[in-house]
Amino acid sequence: MKIIVDTSIWSLALRRRAFGGYGFVSALRDLIESDIAAMLGCIRQEILSGIRSTEQFTLLRDRLRAFPDEPLFFQDYERAAEFFNICRKRGIQGSTTDFLICAAAVEREHAIFTADDDFKKFQRAIPVALFKP
């Protein structure tokens, strides 16, 4: 099984000072060394969005290319919409990107490594597994 690493974990790892996030960063390092860290294109886009410096963008883009994207298919997008609707009916809000991450994880039987508490809320309505270091 692979572990889809969410933007929140990458963000902690890529900061100069990971305040309170050392455990997450250490766990990410272990996943990378074990070759079980998985990347999705939508996560890559979130990581790279908002970088002001062209030089920083290029450096980070090139480093992230070491992690190939898991391919996504129409079933992933359909499942993401289904998850969105299920959660919405139960009063649980989330972004379309978060539900796409959940759908990809469920379809591939992967877990999600995240520091975003929204994913715990999603677990109340959809069968998503979270990685706990």
Domain boundaries, the chain: 3-64, 74-130
Say whether pLDDT at 81 is over 70: yes
| Per-chain mean pLDDT for the chain | 94
pLDDT of residue 21: 62
Looking at 13-27, 52-66, 97-111, which range is the least confident one? 13-27
Say whether pLDDT at 20 is over 70: no
- Give the C-alpha separation, 100 to 72, whole Å: 9
Q: Which of 101, 28, 109, 21 is nearest to 69 (CA)?
A: 101
pLDDT of residue 14: 85
Express each pLDDT in 24-36 by its tens digit: 989 999 999 999 9
Tell me what the mean pLDDT of segment 1-6 comes to: 96
- Give the C-alpha separation, 49 to 122, whole Å: 25
